[in-house]
A and B are shown apart, each in its own frame.
Chain A
Amino acid sequence: SQQGEEDPQALSIQEGENATMNCSYKTSINNLQWYRQNSGRGLVHLILIRSNEREKHSGRLRVTLDTSKKSSSLLITASRAADTASYFCATETPYGQNFVFGPGTRLSVLP
Protein backbone atom coordinates (compact mmCIF):
# COMPACT_ATOMS: atom_id res chain seq x y z
CA SER A 1 0.00 0.00 0.00
CA GLN A 2 1.18 3.53 -0.66
CA GLN A 3 2.87 5.09 2.33
CA GLY A 4 2.77 8.71 1.30
CA GLU A 5 -0.13 10.10 -0.65
CA GLU A 6 -0.32 13.68 -1.72
CA ASP A 7 -3.41 15.61 -2.51
CA PRO A 8 -4.45 17.26 -4.62
CA GLN A 9 -2.91 15.38 -7.50
CA ALA A 10 -2.93 18.52 -9.59
CA LEU A 11 -3.25 22.16 -8.64
CA SER A 12 -3.43 25.29 -10.79
CA ILE A 13 -3.13 28.73 -9.27
CA GLN A 14 -2.34 32.26 -10.33
CA GLU A 15 1.01 33.83 -9.68
CA GLY A 16 1.08 35.48 -6.28
CA GLU A 17 -1.39 33.07 -4.71
CA ASN A 18 -0.45 30.54 -2.07
CA ALA A 19 -0.29 26.86 -2.88
CA THR A 20 -1.01 24.19 -0.30
CA MET A 21 -0.26 20.53 -0.85
CA ASN A 22 -1.00 17.76 1.60
CA CYS A 23 0.59 14.42 2.27
CA SER A 24 -0.87 11.57 4.28
CA TYR A 25 0.87 8.43 5.37
CA LYS A 26 -0.02 5.23 7.10
CA THR A 27 2.75 4.02 9.39
CA SER A 28 5.04 5.54 11.96
CA ILE A 29 7.82 7.66 10.54
CA ASN A 30 11.22 8.97 11.55
CA ASN A 31 10.88 11.96 9.31
CA LEU A 32 9.12 13.31 6.27
CA GLN A 33 10.71 15.14 3.40
CA TRP A 34 9.39 17.23 0.56
CA TYR A 35 10.99 17.23 -2.86
CA ARG A 36 10.45 19.17 -6.04
CA GLN A 37 10.82 17.78 -9.54
CA ASN A 38 10.78 19.82 -12.69
CA SER A 39 9.44 17.99 -15.70
CA GLY A 40 11.79 15.23 -16.81
CA ARG A 41 14.44 16.14 -14.29
CA GLY A 42 15.85 14.84 -11.03
CA LEU A 43 14.62 15.73 -7.60
CA VAL A 44 15.56 18.66 -5.47
CA HIS A 45 15.31 18.33 -1.72
CA LEU A 46 13.23 21.11 -0.21
CA ILE A 47 12.83 20.43 3.46
CA LEU A 48 12.99 17.67 6.07
CA ILE A 49 10.81 17.64 9.13
CA ARG A 50 11.44 15.16 11.92
CA SER A 51 8.72 13.29 13.71
CA ASN A 52 9.17 15.42 16.85
CA GLU A 53 8.83 18.67 14.95
CA ARG A 54 5.56 20.36 14.08
CA GLU A 55 6.53 23.13 11.70
CA LYS A 56 9.52 24.26 9.67
CA HIS A 57 10.14 27.20 7.40
CA SER A 58 12.50 27.74 4.54
CA GLY A 59 12.11 30.92 2.55
CA ARG A 60 8.64 30.88 1.01
CA LEU A 61 8.09 27.29 2.11
CA ARG A 62 6.28 26.27 5.24
CA VAL A 63 5.89 22.62 6.21
CA THR A 64 3.74 21.28 8.99
CA LEU A 65 3.59 17.81 10.42
CA ASP A 66 0.76 16.31 12.43
CA THR A 67 1.79 12.86 13.57
CA SER A 68 -1.55 12.24 15.25
CA LYS A 69 -3.27 12.61 11.89
CA LYS A 70 -0.32 11.16 9.99
CA SER A 71 -0.30 14.10 7.64
CA SER A 72 1.92 16.91 6.46
CA SER A 73 1.34 20.01 4.41
CA LEU A 74 3.60 22.08 2.21
CA LEU A 75 2.67 25.71 1.75
CA ILE A 76 4.30 27.84 -0.90
CA THR A 77 3.55 31.48 -0.36
CA ALA A 78 3.47 34.17 -3.04
CA SER A 79 3.88 31.59 -5.78
CA ARG A 80 5.81 32.28 -8.94
CA ALA A 81 5.62 30.76 -12.41
CA ALA A 82 9.01 29.18 -11.69
CA ASP A 83 7.40 27.16 -8.88
CA THR A 84 5.62 25.09 -11.53
CA ALA A 85 6.76 21.54 -10.87
CA SER A 86 5.74 18.29 -9.24
CA TYR A 87 6.07 18.10 -5.50
CA PHE A 88 6.55 14.83 -3.67
CA CYS A 89 6.54 13.89 -0.04
CA ALA A 90 8.68 11.00 1.10
CA THR A 91 8.63 9.25 4.41
CA GLU A 92 11.35 7.37 6.21
CA THR A 93 10.07 4.75 8.58
CA PRO A 94 11.79 3.21 11.59
CA TYR A 95 11.82 -0.13 9.81
CA GLY A 96 15.24 -0.09 8.20
CA GLN A 97 16.11 1.81 5.06
CA ASN A 98 12.52 2.27 4.05
CA PHE A 99 11.97 5.42 2.04
CA VAL A 100 8.69 5.80 0.20
CA PHE A 101 7.56 8.55 -2.11
CA GLY A 102 3.98 9.60 -2.58
CA PRO A 103 2.47 10.01 -6.06
CA GLY A 104 3.08 13.75 -6.09
CA THR A 105 1.15 16.93 -6.72
CA ARG A 106 1.59 18.66 -10.08
CA LEU A 107 1.54 22.37 -9.42
CA SER A 108 0.98 24.83 -12.24
CA VAL A 109 1.47 28.50 -11.47
CA LEU A 110 -0.03 30.65 -14.19
CA PRO A 111 1.53 34.04 -14.93
Chain B
Amino acid sequence: GAVVSQHPSRVICKSGTSVKIECRSLDFQATTMFWYRQFPKKSLMLMATSNEGSKATYEQGVEKDKFLINHASLTLSTLTVTSAHPEDSSFYICSASLSGSINEQFFGPGTRLTVL
Protein backbone atom coordinates (compact mmCIF):
# COMPACT_ATOMS: atom_id res chain seq x y z
CA GLY B 1 0.00 0.00 0.00
CA ALA B 2 0.83 3.70 0.01
CA VAL B 3 2.13 3.91 -3.53
CA VAL B 4 2.74 7.25 -5.17
CA SER B 5 3.41 7.56 -8.86
CA GLN B 6 4.72 10.39 -10.96
CA HIS B 7 4.38 10.98 -14.65
CA PRO B 8 6.40 11.47 -16.69
CA SER B 9 9.56 9.99 -15.21
CA ARG B 10 11.70 11.98 -17.64
CA VAL B 11 10.91 14.96 -19.82
CA ILE B 12 13.03 17.04 -22.14
CA CYS B 13 11.61 20.29 -23.41
CA LYS B 14 12.65 23.43 -25.19
CA SER B 15 13.20 26.68 -23.38
CA GLY B 16 10.02 28.72 -23.15
CA THR B 17 7.62 25.81 -23.11
CA SER B 18 5.54 24.66 -20.15
CA VAL B 19 5.77 21.22 -18.62
CA LYS B 20 3.20 19.48 -16.45
CA ILE B 21 4.17 16.80 -13.94
CA GLU B 22 1.53 14.61 -12.36
CA CYS B 23 1.65 13.07 -8.91
CA ARG B 24 -0.87 10.40 -8.02
CA SER B 25 -1.55 8.46 -4.86
CA LEU B 26 -2.58 5.08 -6.21
CA ASP B 27 -4.11 3.31 -3.26
CA PHE B 28 -5.01 5.99 -0.77
CA GLN B 29 -6.52 9.43 -0.66
CA ALA B 30 -3.95 12.08 0.02
CA THR B 31 -5.14 15.02 2.05
CA THR B 32 -1.90 16.78 1.37
CA MET B 33 0.77 16.53 -1.28
CA PHE B 34 4.22 18.04 -1.19
CA TRP B 35 6.49 19.04 -4.04
CA TYR B 36 10.27 18.95 -3.74
CA ARG B 37 13.12 19.91 -6.02
CA GLN B 38 16.50 18.24 -5.96
CA PHE B 39 19.65 19.46 -7.68
CA PRO B 40 22.35 16.95 -8.67
CA LYS B 41 24.06 15.44 -5.65
CA LYS B 42 22.15 17.83 -3.42
CA SER B 43 19.39 17.51 -0.93
CA LEU B 44 15.70 17.98 -1.44
CA MET B 45 14.17 21.39 -1.11
CA LEU B 46 10.51 21.66 -0.22
CA MET B 47 8.84 23.86 -2.81
CA ALA B 48 5.22 23.84 -1.79
CA THR B 49 2.50 22.12 0.14
CA SER B 50 -0.83 21.54 -1.54
CA ASN B 51 -4.12 20.58 0.04
CA GLU B 52 -6.97 19.25 -2.03
CA GLY B 53 -9.31 22.00 -3.11
CA SER B 54 -7.28 24.90 -1.84
CA LYS B 55 -4.37 27.01 -2.98
CA ALA B 56 -0.89 25.67 -2.51
CA THR B 57 1.38 27.13 0.13
CA TYR B 58 4.74 27.98 -1.35
CA GLU B 59 8.03 28.08 0.51
CA GLN B 60 9.98 31.28 0.62
CA GLY B 61 11.81 31.97 -2.60
CA VAL B 62 9.65 29.71 -4.77
CA GLU B 63 7.79 31.61 -7.49
CA LYS B 64 4.15 30.57 -7.45
CA ASP B 65 3.56 31.93 -10.96
CA LYS B 66 6.49 29.91 -12.23
CA PHE B 67 5.56 26.67 -10.53
CA LEU B 68 1.80 26.25 -10.74
CA ILE B 69 0.35 23.62 -8.46
CA ASN B 70 -3.13 22.20 -8.77
CA HIS B 71 -4.56 19.66 -6.37
CA ALA B 72 -7.92 18.97 -7.93
CA SER B 73 -8.65 15.65 -6.25
CA LEU B 74 -7.54 13.58 -3.30
CA THR B 75 -5.42 11.41 -5.56
CA LEU B 76 -3.91 13.87 -8.01
CA SER B 77 -1.71 16.91 -7.80
CA THR B 78 0.02 18.55 -10.73
CA LEU B 79 3.05 20.79 -10.95
CA THR B 80 3.36 22.92 -14.06
CA VAL B 81 6.68 24.55 -14.76
CA THR B 82 5.71 27.54 -16.88
CA SER B 83 8.00 29.09 -19.49
CA ALA B 84 10.74 26.68 -18.54
CA HIS B 85 14.37 27.74 -18.74
CA PRO B 86 17.57 25.66 -18.48
CA GLU B 87 17.98 26.66 -14.83
CA ASP B 88 14.68 24.89 -14.12
CA SER B 89 16.31 21.60 -15.07
CA SER B 90 16.16 19.47 -11.98
CA PHE B 91 14.72 16.38 -10.35
CA TYR B 92 11.22 17.02 -9.05
CA ILE B 93 9.80 14.71 -6.41
CA CYS B 94 6.31 14.70 -4.99
CA SER B 95 5.06 13.08 -1.85
CA ALA B 96 1.59 12.39 -0.52
CA SER B 97 0.27 12.23 2.98
CA LEU B 98 -2.88 10.43 4.07
CA SER B 99 -3.16 12.24 7.33
CA GLY B 100 -1.96 15.61 6.16
CA SER B 101 1.09 15.31 8.36
CA ILE B 102 4.44 15.98 6.81
CA ASN B 103 5.74 13.18 8.99
CA GLU B 104 3.75 10.55 7.16
CA GLN B 105 4.55 11.17 3.55
CA PHE B 106 5.12 8.65 0.82
CA PHE B 107 7.41 9.70 -1.97
CA GLY B 108 6.97 9.33 -5.68
CA PRO B 109 9.83 8.11 -7.88
CA GLY B 110 10.60 11.58 -9.19
CA THR B 111 10.60 13.32 -12.56
CA ARG B 112 13.78 14.44 -14.24
CA LEU B 113 13.23 17.63 -16.18
CA THR B 114 15.78 18.79 -18.73
CA VAL B 115 15.22 22.13 -20.40
CA LEU B 116 17.29 22.70 -23.52
- A positions within 8 Å CB-CB of B: 30-31, 33, 35, 40-45, 48, 88, 92, 97, 99-104, 106
Contacts and interface: CB of A to CB of B under 8 A. Distances in A.
| Chain B contact residues, majority secondary structure | strand
25 contacts: A30-B103, A31-B103, A33-B103, A42-B4, A42-B93, A42-B108, A42-B109, A42-B110, A43-B93, A43-B95, A44-B107, A45-B105, A45-B107, A88-B43, A88-B44, A97-B49, A99-B34, A99-B46, A99-B103, A101-B43, A101-B45, A102-B43, A104-B42, A104-B43, A106-B41
A95 B94 CA distance: 22
Nearest to A86: B41
Interface in B69-116: 91, 93, 95, 102-103, 105-110, 112
Contacts of A43: 44, 93, 95, 107
Contacts of B112: 40
- Of A35, A44, A88, A99, the most chain B CB neighbours within 10 A belong to A99
Contacts of B102: 92, 97, 99
A5 B50 CA distance: 26
A42 B43 CA distance: 12
Nearest to A9: B41
